[in-house]
Amino acid sequence: MDQTLKETLKKKISNRETKVCIIGLGYVGLPNALDFARKGFSVLGIDIDKERVQKFNRGENYILGTDEKGELKKFVAAGKVSAQVDFSDLGQMDVIVICVPTSLSSNLAPDLQHIKNSVREIARRLRRGQLICLESTVYPGTSEEIVLPLLESSGLKAERDFYLCHSPERVDPGDGNYGTKQLSRIVGGIGPDSLEVGVFFYEQITEKIFPVSEIKIAELAKVYENTFRAVNIALVNELMLLCDQMKISVWETLDAAYTKPFGIMPFYPGPGVGGHCIPVDPHYLEWKAREYGFYTRFISIAGEINRKMPYYIREIILRALNSLGVVPARAKILLMGMAYKKDINDARESPAIALAELLLKDGMGICYHDPYIEAVEIFSQKFISVPLEEEVVSSSDLVVITTDHSVINYQWLIEKARKIVDTRNATKGLKDIEQKVVLI
């Protein structure tokens, strides 16, 4: 153990002489870059997406709700932050934070190619005294089994020459209530020195740190958090399916149940789950569990129920069209929202896309409006968000509220639409819902 190496890095961190590199400037990396810049660090962002890098260097925010005060532009102008596509400067960095995507293959296995690629780039330039922090969501064992051997292939040894920690990001895009200040950070280290340096580093941006004794615990805690959410959403979606059969309002049932101040948490039904976390992360755990001959039944059932939701919404749409006397193959449907949840500009894994695919297969004519998603590709066809004009709404046989963005005037929509299928309870408490709105 080299006390001087560790103390030198900690001193550089507290004196802000540290150069912080963020690899991956997306939903996690961009806010991170701003957080560190705000605290006086000089930040270099690296991303393989040229367009993102150019936008970053122009100070243009490309992630809704991330830079409301326009700080990126100021930091770029002051030379505090910059971005590039090449990795050649990694050796000059003191701290490297990895925020690259972790997706799934088509058969629900973890796809760690982005992590491996960035770690290989780091390993090529690894030098003594660097701290590497993995923030991407991973299954328990990734840091020890994948990241560590790649880094040590450089000839340097963790704890003796460099430090490795995992601090899973917990940001909730679109939710201004939970930023860096409000959220605590779990930190795990590959050894005690890595933990100490990792905790010291993250303490610079937040007071709320929860150190854990093993790096695997940090990895598992994060996938468990998202599994908890996926399972509870599935539970409430299943309740909705039952309520449909029993002709009971699921929404009023939930409003009543959620008046209990303990032992229950509000989750709501919808057209399915989306984004980069909830439909993905639980399957990381499911996949890893199989190595131990263990089957995580809650995860597979939750995945199955949540993935079926667009099929159920399709059924409701068919029923609504039937009530209007419209043949599905001639129906014109306006989907309100492509983002996977309200007030964000992220359509990855969006249930609205899954639903649109089903409707297209039925031969329906579809268009969509989303104030935050300019265009999407469905079955290799480009769809562009249509303007929300009276003519567009009134000429549609059915309007389907797929995302409940706050900026939409739902009362106006009810007035202009022939009929609405509301998958989000966005029309709650509005006038004329009995005549016009079919609520799931």
Give the shortest CB-398-to-ligand NAD separation in angstroms.
31
**Nearer Cβ to ligand NAD (172/203):** 172
**Nearer Cβ to ligand NAD (171/438):** 171
Q: How far is CA 44 from CA 58, 154, 427, in A?
A: 14, 23, 45
Give the shortest CB-179-to-ligand NAD separation in angstroms.
12
Q: What are the phi and psi torsion angles at 219 (to 5°)?
A: -65, -45
**Nearer Cβ to ligand NAD (31/337):** 31
Q: How far apart are CA 146 and CA 276, in angstroms?
A: 21
- Catalytic-residue membership of 277: yes
Q: How far apart are CA 249 and CA 254, in angstroms?
A: 9
Give the shortest CB-4-to-ligand NAD separation in angstroms.
32
Cα 72–chain centre separation: 21
- What is the end-to-end Cα distance of the chain in Å, rounded? 61
Contact in structure between 125 and 87 (CB atoms under 8 Å): yes
Contact in structure between 32 and 22 (CB atoms under 8 Å): yes
Give the shortest CB-104-to-ligand NAD separation in angstroms.
11
Strand partners, 43: 20, 81
| Chain residues in the site for ligand NAD (CB under 6 A) | 23-29, 46-49, 52, 99-102, 114, 117-118, 136-137, 169-171, 173, 276-277
Nearest to 374, CA basis, from 364, 365, 387 = 387
Strand partners, 132: 96, 164
Q: Which residue is nearest to ligand NAD (CB)?
A: 26
**Nearer Cβ to ligand NAD (168/211):** 168
Contact in structure between 235 and 159 (CB atoms under 8 Å): no
Give the shortest CB-276-to-ligand NAD separation in angstroms.
4
Contact in structure between 150 and 175 (CB atoms under 8 Å): no
Kindly tell me the sign of the dihedral angle through the C-alpha atoms of 115, 24, 137, 347.
negative
Give the shortest CB-348-to-ligand NAD separation in angstroms.
7
Which of helix, strand or coil describes residue 328?
Answer: helix
**Nearer Cβ to ligand NAD (30/408):** 30
Q: How far is CA 406 from CA 180, 271, 424, 427, in A?
A: 23, 17, 12, 11
Give the shortest CB-173-to-ligand NAD separation in angstroms.
5
Which of helix, strand or coil describes residue 335?
Answer: strand
Structure tokens of 114? 């982005």
**Nearer Cβ to ligand NAD (24/310):** 24
From the list 99, 133, 165, 277, the catalytic residue is 277
Cite the active site residues: 277
